[in-house]
Structure 1
Amino acid sequence: MKSSRSFILQALFLFFTFSAHLTASAQTPTQAYLDYMSGLENYVQNDLYGKVSIILYDAEAAPSADDYIQFCKGVKAEIGQFYEQNSKGLLEQEKIGAQTFSHTMLLQLGELYLDRVQDLEPGQKLGFLDQYFEGIGLNSDIDRLSEDLSRSMMMTLHAAMGIPFGMPNTEVEAYINGMAEPKKELFQAAFILNDMLMLTGGYESSKNQVAGFRNSYPNSIYLADVNKSLSAIEKLKEGAVIENFSFVDLEGKSVSLMDYKDKIIYLDLWASWCGPCINTFRTKTPFFEKKLKGNPDIVLMYISIDEQPEPWKNYLSKNKMGGVHLFAGKGFEAEIMKYFKVWGIPRYLIIGKDNKIIDVNAPRPGDEAFEVLKDISGM
């Protein structure tokens, strides 16, 4: 249990520091905001960690749902007090960001409890989640939705239902559609925002989702957040011309996407530390490359986001692969990752001739991807 505890608490801290940089990304944060987030980070690291550890992991058994909710209500009160004492000088948008991040932290605490009580049935976990939202007051408190908060809501719901986050499913949406109002409105908005964040169905799918939500809730307080996110992914719709990103090849030469404007690019974003990426290279990629061999219109392009080039070069020197190999570096901070809103790898895209988007969430290497490329190229 200790290793699990250490991992979960570390994940909470990493999530916190990551989100702290994003919350005010629409503008340059004020010093007041930086000080606020620094103080909140200090509270999480030096106070909250210990309290969560004691109540969830140091005891022989997990606390009752009622006891844990009471604990989290105390955490909420402490965060609220911190806000009252330290929010002076924040811009209005920064105040909104601080509040939505507080909600995200509370959701993370709820998910930690679900992890601790893994033996409970999904129905019992969903019952806790309902009780938690009501007891903490999140049902009434959440009046703005950020991408982080929406993702956290969906991750928590997936955890309660026992469904891996990020995997295609219909159960989560069906469960949300069965919720009572006003909770249904909140979770539908979060579901749509999360789909846009993950580009689950692409721009057109998101556009239809937003239109449906707008028809159902024309006066929703979440419409501004939903519309803003839709506008942000318009550049990723099918047929849009993408930016001409440049990378470095194995010989250190600069290579841009426009160098392949006369080709159809099947783009694979990966890193040497990514287990699923490497597993795909070993089990799927060789056959995929073989099936596409001889088609001059298609280029298999592998772009590494390793922080440093050495691991990338070392892997390729020991594992021969076809295709074009390029280095972006910078991990998830690479420009191409932010442009395409990539939150996890491997990620596959299909870029058509003249650098026009065909699919920003393409199938993995295999028969489905082959058939898609076959239809596009007319082979």
Structure 2
Amino acid sequence: MKSIKCFSKILFGFIIFLITCAPSVGQQSYSDDFVTYMSGLERFVQNELYNKVSQFLYDVEETPEPKAYIDFVEEIKNELEEYHQSNKSNLMNDEVDAAKSFIQTMLVQLAELYLDRAQEYEVGVKQKFLHDYLQTLGLNKEINNLTDDVARSIMMALHSAMKIPFGMTNDEIANYVAANREADRELILASSIINDMLMLAKSYDQSENAIATFKKEYNGSNFTPSMEELLVSLEKLKPGAEVENFTFVNLEGETVTLEKYKDKIIYLDLWASWCGPCIQTFRTKTPDFEMQLRDQSDIVLLYVSIDEKEESWKNFLDKNPMRGEHLYAGKGFEASIMKYFKVWGIPRYLIIGKDNKLVNPNAPRPGDEALSALFELVGK
């Protein structure tokens, strides 16, 4: 039987993240009323929803039937809508929209929980469940503001339905989205385009073309503004764009800017001491990678930690010394460099050329492919 840790990680952890890491909507600060609203939502998740979902989905020997689970979530949706209607009166318009998007994201994630639990089901059954779920709950019509979180959650659910790990570039997903003719086609297609941009899975030109094709099929879609706004934000991530001069702290406590390395080709590794995949890579891939580059004076390996505490970063490096340059950004995923490069998960690797011109904002992990890209830049 699946552990309920999955539920805690996906849903409750998501709400905690929203409350602690959402200081602003655009340029507008959240009001005290919105903080109160979100605190109430957190209490609902912790005190009621957690137990309900755990009992219905995990404290049973067999996976509930798809329709039974959809009916169950419909009741949860009604409770959430009742909470929203009762507590939205003092919220500003942007906050009302944000609150609705948070709830919609929760509902989509509840679908992913079911798909993750239903490992015994064939792909076709899981795909049908997702379409039925979105349509029965009315999410395919009610989601008008397609935020990054909603779009990503929809694509995570689709990956789970198709038994494909999220984050992997996969033609099977793209082909399914293109061929989908269900009532949720517009929603899933737009989510796919947004998610590809968030993941930097496609080039700027490919994303621009995908949006243009979408607009021909869905002229005047409510989702178009979100896609176009995200595309504009990706202009700074085009190859050849000059990277912002970020500021860090080195191991000696000195302030260091990215400009210090403008005469070098930078292989940038964003990591944290709590990141399991980061540490695994350090142990298995990094030593040989560093050795292969030891004589390349034009290349600098730049390790930037996003640990919340500087002490954690230093303690790890004291016990696990590595080559290269080590800098501290802190602030976790709220670090400016993380937002700039739209980093949603670590480790993340980037290649920055001389004069701080961006080469690849989503570079290969340490290994032969990364070495080839770096050697090509130095003409080797």
Q: Greater CA deviation, 158-167 or 54-63?
A: 54-63
Deviation digits for residues 92-129 of structure 1 (CA, Å, limit 9, x no counterpart): 22222222222111111111111222111222111211
Q: CA RMSD in A?
A: 1.9
Q: Distance between the aligned counterparts of 2:45 and 2:286, measured in 1?
A: 43
The aligned counterpart of 1:128 is 129
SS at match of 1:71: helix
Q: Distance between the aligned counterparts of 2:296 and 2:8, measured in 1?
A: 49
The aligned counterpart of 1:87 is 88
Cα deviation, residue 73, structure 1:
0.8
The aligned counterpart of 1:161 is 162
- Does the Cα contact within 8 Å between 2:270 and 2:348 map onto a contact in 1? yes
What code does the residue aligned with 2:64 have? P
Cα deviation, residue 23, structure 1:
9.0
The aligned counterpart of 1:119 is 120
Deviation digits for residues 291-327 of structure 1 (CA, Å, limit 9, x no counterpart): 2222221111111122223332233233332211112
- Does the Cα contact within 8 Å between 1:107 and 1:153 map onto a contact in 2? yes
The aligned counterpart of 1:191 is 192
The aligned counterpart of 1:306 is 307
Q: Distance between the aligned counterparts of 1:66 and 1:282, measured in 2?
A: 46
What code does the residue aligned with 2:66 have? A
- Does the Cα contact within 8 Å between 1:158 and 1:164 map onto a contact in 2? yes
Q: Distance between the aligned counterparts of 1:328 and 1:24, measured in 2?
A: 21
| 2:10 pairs with 1:15 | no
Q: Distance between the aligned counterparts of 1:334 and 1:43, measured in 2?
A: 30
The aligned counterpart of 1:357 is 358
- Does the Cα contact within 8 Å between 1:302 and 1:323 map onto a contact in 2? yes
Cα deviation, residue 149, structure 1:
0.2
Name the TM-score, length of structure 1 as normaliser. Answer: 0.94
What code does the residue aligned with 2:170 have? N
- Does the Cα contact within 8 Å between 2:23 and 2:29 map onto a contact in 1? no
The aligned counterpart of 2:25 is 25
What code does the residue aligned with 2:88 have? S
Cα deviation, residue 210, structure 1:
2.1
What code does the residue aligned with 1:374 have? F
**Are the structure 2 counterparts of residues 6 and 181 from structure 1 closer, same or farther at C-alpha, using a change threshold of 3 Å?**
closer
Q: Distance between the aligned counterparts of 2:63 and 2:72, measured in 1?
A: 13
Q: How does 1:282-293 map to 2 (within 5 A)?
A: 282-293=283-294
Q: How does 1:120-269 map to 2 (within 5 A)?
A: 120-180=121-181, 182-269=183-270
Q: How does 1:30-45 map to 2 (within 5 A)?
A: 30-45=31-46
SS at match of 1:348: strand
Q: Distance between the aligned counterparts of 2:155 and 2:144, measured in 1?
A: 17
Cα deviation, residue 187, structure 1:
0.8
What code does the residue aligned with 2:347 have? P
Q: How does 1:67-106 map to 2 (within 5 A)?
A: 67-106=68-107
SS at match of 2:29: coil
The aligned counterpart of 1:61 is 62
Deviation digits for residues 39-97 of structure 1 (CA, Å, limit 9, x no counterpart): 22221111111211221122332322121111111111111111221111222222222
- Does the Cα contact within 8 Å between 2:245 and 2:257 map onto a contact in 1? yes
The aligned counterpart of 1:343 is 344
Q: Distance between the aligned counterparts of 1:130 and 1:252, measured in 2?
A: 53
Q: Distance between the aligned counterparts of 2:6 and 2:128, measured in 1?
A: 26
Cα deviation, residue 146, structure 1:
0.4
- Does the Cα contact within 8 Å between 2:63 and 2:117 map onto a contact in 1? yes
Cα deviation, residue 249, structure 1:
1.7
- Does the Cα contact within 8 Å between 2:351 and 2:360 map onto a contact in 1? yes
- Does the Cα contact within 8 Å between 1:24 and 1:97 map onto a contact in 2? no
Cα deviation, residue 151, structure 1:
0.5
Cα deviation, residue 19, structure 1:
3.0
Q: Distance between the aligned counterparts of 1:313 and 1:221, measured in 2?
A: 47
Cα deviation, residue 202, structure 1:
4.4
Deviation digits for residues 180-239 of structure 1 (CA, Å, limit 9, x no counterpart): 155222111101111222222343432332233233333222101111111222222222
Q: Distance between the aligned counterparts of 1:247 and 1:100, measured in 2?
A: 34
Name the TM-score, length of structure 2 as normaliser. Answer: 0.94
The aligned counterpart of 1:5 is 4
Q: Distance between the aligned counterparts of 1:197 and 1:50, measured in 2?
A: 33
- Does the Cα contact within 8 Å between 2:264 and 2:298 map onto a contact in 1? yes
Q: Distance between the aligned counterparts of 2:145 and 2:10, measured in 1?
A: 24
What code does the residue aligned with 1:72 have? V
What code does the residue aligned with 2:161 have? A
- Does the Cα contact within 8 Å between 2:135 and 2:184 map onto a contact in 1? no
